[in-house]
Structure 1
Amino acid sequence: MTKVGIVVGSIRNNSFSEALAKNIVELFPEGYEAEFIEIANLPLYNQDSDENIPEVYTNFRNKVKALDAVVFVTPEHNRSIPAALKNALDVGSRPYGSNVWDGKPALIVSQSPSNLSGFGANHHLRQVLAFLNMPVVQQPEVYIANVHELLGEDGKITNEDTVGFLQSVVDAYVDFVKRHQA
């Protein structure tokens, strides 16, 4: 069983990112187990905490360590990634030499209610993940524009072309993960 962590960049209840992530999870084949990784409960990273590590940090780091791969689904905040997502990446990469993200294959999905589709967040996240030594799917790139128009009242994607695209993305990601597990 391949264990895939789902990290949602938005901490807002019922966010577009969360709805999109739930749709993506349904597209994984048998043999893949998805687990949503909570980031809203993490206190802001402070190097002083490396001496007296909060239990919530230890629990978070252990969850990430147990993963085989990670999917990030995020909105864009001020042309970059949300602060909560950056904090989670920092918590998982510290203390120095204890990076729990190291080597885990990643997929980045950015979304926005605008036409820009989280382009800035997507590319800023790629930059951070490169430093964390996470191989990232380069193609297909995943930018979901006008996300609010794609989701029905039940949170399901209503546009079949979008579902088909996301299925092709998940298929490419599964192949990518297999290559990195070999």
Structure 2
Amino acid sequence: MTAIKVGIIIGSLAKASINRKLASALEKLAPEGMSFSEIAIGDLPLYSYDYDSDYPAEGRALKAQIEASDAILLVTPEYNRSIPGGLKNALDWASRPWGTNSFNGKPVAVIGTSPGAIGTAVAQTALRPVLGFMNTIQMNQIEAYIQYKPDMIDDQGAITNPETAKFLSGFLESFQSFAARHKG
């Protein structure tokens, strides 16, 4: 299988985020040839086109990391039935100034966890039109709306339920194949 460099963007800014824990667990489940690098979004100022003529270092670093990745994995919570503000802000930074969209043609998959029964289904549904406008190549199947339970991830960062681990491994294998087919 082709080696795939995946940039992970975690939609939560919280250090103890369950989505950060999920991202770490996914790295442990990754198939051979798939490597991960977190693309941090917490230091970005709020986007304004006033920055377009003199992009700050944080915005340039975000764009460079996305462009250096073969594919992007968004690991996102759901806030108020939608996209977390920090994640939307990062997407705005990455797609600007006009004509310099770092996500253009980039393979992207979305996953997330929440204590709610439907996981992050509504946030992911809200996110997909934004990703479509940004001209990403979205992996639409396998969908992964993970209901978080306190014992889902152990202290070493491993998924404790074998069926959940199997599902997540399958998700990553599908993403690896998808990204290999679509990487620039």
Quote the offset at 1:140 in angstroms. 1.1
For 1:102-181, list aligned pairs within 5 A. Answer: 102-181=104-183
Taking structure 1 as the reference length, the TM-score comes to 0.95
> Is residue 7–residue 71 contact of structure 1 (8 Å, CA) maintained in 2?
yes
Partner in structure 2 of residue 51 of structure 1: 53
CA separation in 1, counterparts of 2:35 and 2:11? Answer: 20
Partner in structure 1 of residue 74 of structure 2: 72
Partner amino acid, structure 1, of 2:83: I
Partner amino acid, structure 2, of 1:70: I
CA separation in 2, counterparts of 1:24 and 1:31? Answer: 14
Taking structure 2 as the reference length, the TM-score comes to 0.94
Unmatched 5+ stretches in structure 2? none
Quote the offset at 1:147 in angstroms. 3.9
CA separation in 2, counterparts of 1:70 and 1:181? Answer: 11
Alpha carbons of structure 1 residues 59 and 79: separation in structure 2 relative to 1, 3 Å: same
Quote the offset at 1:30 in angstroms. 2.6
CA separation in 2, counterparts of 1:135 and 1:148? Answer: 33
2:94 alignment partner, one of 85, 92, 95: 92
CA separation in 2, counterparts of 1:149 and 1:112? Answer: 13
> Is residue 111–residue 147 contact of structure 1 (8 Å, CA) maintained in 2?
no
Question: Once the two structures are superposed, what CA deviation does each residue of 1:45-81 show, in whole Å capped at 9, x if it has no partner?
Answer: 0100112211111111111111110001110000001
CA separation in 2, counterparts of 1:51 and 1:122? Answer: 32
Fraction of identical pairs, as percent: 39
User: SS state of the match for residue 108, structure 1?
Assistant: strand
Partner in structure 2 of residue 60 of structure 1: 62
CA separation in 2, counterparts of 1:59 and 1:178? Answer: 24
Quote the offset at 1:14 in angstroms. 2.0
CA separation in 2, counterparts of 1:49 and 1:166? Answer: 39
